C-alpha cells in the first residue's frame, strides 16, 4: 500500500504535537495545591531543660566524693601516701606533745576539752562569709559559703566513720597513744578536719588580689584549731594531722566540683590570630 509523502508528514506533525503537549502538561503546575507543612508545635520545657536542683547536685557530689579513689591518678595516690607518712611521724611524737601541754603522764579524768569554744572560730568564719555575701549580693560569695558547708559536711561524715572504725581512746582517757579499736572517738579530730575544710575553701576561693590574706586566715584557722585541741588535751597530735589532711583534701575536691570565682575578676590575655596577635581584656560582672 502506498502512503503519500504529505500524509506521512501530517502524521509526524500530529505525533510531535501530542508529544510536545504531553511535555508541556507535565511541566505545568498541578491544579491541586501542595499542602503546606504544619506549623511547629510550641516547645514544652522538659526536665532536661531545667537546671539541676540543689539536692541532685549534692547527691552527685556525694557519689563522686566516695567513689573518687576509684579514679585517682598518680598524684592523688602520692597525696594519700604522703598523708599516711605524716600521720605516722606525728604518731611517733604523740606522747611527747601530750606531755608538753599537760605536764603529766597520767590521764585526766573529767577533763574540760572546750569542744564548743574551739568550734567558735570556724563558725564565725562561715557566718561572716555568709553575711558579707548577703550584704554585697555576691553570687561568688554565696557559692563560697555553699562550698564551705559542703566541704565541712562531707568531712564530718567521713570523720565520724573513721572514728567508729579506729575506736582510739582520747588522751584524757588513756596515757597510751596506742589504745586503738576500743570505744574511743579520738581519731581523727573532728574540729581539725572541719576547720581545715572551711579554711581551705576560704584560702583558695576568690581572685588572687588578696590571696596571701585569704591563705593566712584560712590555713591559720586550721592550725589554730588544731593547736587548741592539743592544748585542751582533747586529741593526740596524729589525730589533728589526720584531720588536717582529710579536711584539706575534701575542700579541694569541693572547689574542683564548684569553682568559686570572684565577681569582677579582671584578666589580660594575648591570643594568637592570623597574621599576628590580639590583646584581650576580660571583666566578669556579677
Q: How many residues does the chain have?
A: 286
Residue at 28 is within a domain: no
Residue at 196 is within a domain: yes
**Higher pLDDT, residue 113 or 268:** 113
Give the 3-state secondary structure of residue 177: coil
Instruction: Count up the domains in the chain and report the number.
Output: 1
- Asked if pLDDT for residue 29 goes beyond 70, the answer is no
Q: What is the pTM of this model?
A: 0.73
pLDDT, residue 153, reads 96
Q: Describe the chain by its helix, strand, coil percentages, rounded to 5.
A: 60, 5, 30
Residue at 212 is within a domain: yes
**Higher pLDDT, residue 220 or 106:** 220
- Asked if pLDDT for residue 8 goes beyond 70, the answer is no
Residue at 204 is within a domain: yes
Lowest mean pLDDT among 49-58, 155-164, 261-270: 261-270
- Asked if pLDDT for residue 27 goes beyond 70, the answer is no
Residue at 3 is within a domain: no
pLDDT digits (tens, 9 = 90+) for 242-257: 999 999 999 999 999 8
pLDDT, residue 54, reads 73
Give the 3-state secondary structure of residue 269: strand
In 3D space, the residue among 49, 54, 48, 47 whose CA is nearest the CA of residue 258 turns out to be: 54
Please report the DSSP string for 214-243 in residue order: HHHHHHHHHHHHHHHHHHTTSS-HHHHHHH
Q: Which of 27-31, 105-109, 150-154, 281-285 has the highest mean pLDDT?
A: 150-154
* Other beta carbons within 10 Å of 126: 19
**Higher pLDDT, residue 144 or 37:** 144
The H or E element that residue 272 is part of is: strand 266-273
pLDDT, residue 96, reads 94
pLDDT confidence band for 98 (50 / 70 / 90) = very high
pLDDT, residue 268, reads 40
Structure-block grid coordinates of residue 70: 576509684
Mean residue pLDDT across the chain: 80
CATH number of the domain enclosing 158: 1.20.144
Residue at 19 is within a domain: no
Residue at 210 is within a domain: yes
- Asked if pLDDT for residue 193 goes beyond 60, the answer is yes
Cβ pair 245, 208 in contact under 8 A: no
Percent of the chain whose pLDDT exceeds 70 = 70
Residue 105 structural domain = 54-266
Residue 232, judged by CB atoms within 10 A of its CB (0-12, 13-18, 19+), counts as: buried
- Asked if pLDDT for residue 225 goes beyond 90, the answer is yes
pLDDT, residue 197, reads 98
Query: In the 8-state DSSP scheme, what is residue 47?
Result: G
Residue at 16 is within a domain: no
- Asked if pLDDT for residue 259 goes beyond 50, the answer is yes
Amino acid at each position: 500500500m502506498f502512503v503519500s509523502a504529505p500524509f506521512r508528514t501530517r502524521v509526524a506533525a500530529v505525533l510531535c504535537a501530542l508529544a510536545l503537549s504531553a511535555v508541556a502538561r507535565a511541566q505545568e503546575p498541578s491544579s491541586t495545591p501542595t499542602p503546606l507543612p504544619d506549623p511547629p508545635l510550641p516547645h514544652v520545657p522538659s526536665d532536661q531543660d531545667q537546671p539541676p536542683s540543689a539536692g541532685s547536685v549534692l547527691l552527685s557530689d556525694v557519689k563522686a566524693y566516695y567513689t573518687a579513689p576509684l579514679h585517682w591518678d598518680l598524684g592523688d595516690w602520692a597525696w594519700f601516701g604522703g598523708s599516711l607518712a605524716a600521720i605516722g611521724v606525728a604518731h611517733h611524737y604523740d606522747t611527747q606533745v601530750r606531755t608538753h601541754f599537760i605536764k603529766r603522764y597520767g590521764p585526766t579524768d573529767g577533763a574540760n576539752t572546750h569542744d564548743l569554744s574551739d568550734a567558735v572560730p570556724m563558725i564565725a568564719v562561715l557566718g561572716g562569709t555568709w553575711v558579707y555575701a548577703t550584704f554585697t549580693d555576691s553570687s561568688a560569695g554565696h557559692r563560697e559559703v555553699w562550698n564551705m558547708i559542703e566541704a565541712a559536711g562531707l568531712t564530718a561524715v567521713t570523720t565520724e566513720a573513721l572514728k567508729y572504725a579506729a575506736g582510739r581512746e582520747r588522751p584524757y582517757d588513756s596515757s597510751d597513744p596506742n589504745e586503738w579499736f576500743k570505744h574511743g572517738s579520738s581519731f581523727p579530730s573532728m574540729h581539725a578536719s572541719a576547720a581545715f575544710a572551711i579554711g581551705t575553701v576560704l584560702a583558695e576561693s576568690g581572685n588572687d588580689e588578696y590571696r596571701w590574706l585569704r591563705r593566712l586566715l584560712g590555713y591559720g584557722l586550721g592550725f589554730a584549731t588544731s593547736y587548741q585541741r592539743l592544748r585542751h588535751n582533747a586529741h593526740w597530735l596524729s589525730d589533728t594531722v589526720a584531720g588536717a589532711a582529710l579536711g584539706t583534701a575534701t575542700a579541694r575536691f569541693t572547689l574542683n566540683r564548684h569553682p568559686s570565682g570572684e565577681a569582677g575578676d579582671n584578666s589580660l590575655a594575648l591570643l594568637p590570630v592570623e597574621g599576628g596577635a590580639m590583646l584581650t581584656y576580660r571583666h566578669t560582672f556579677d
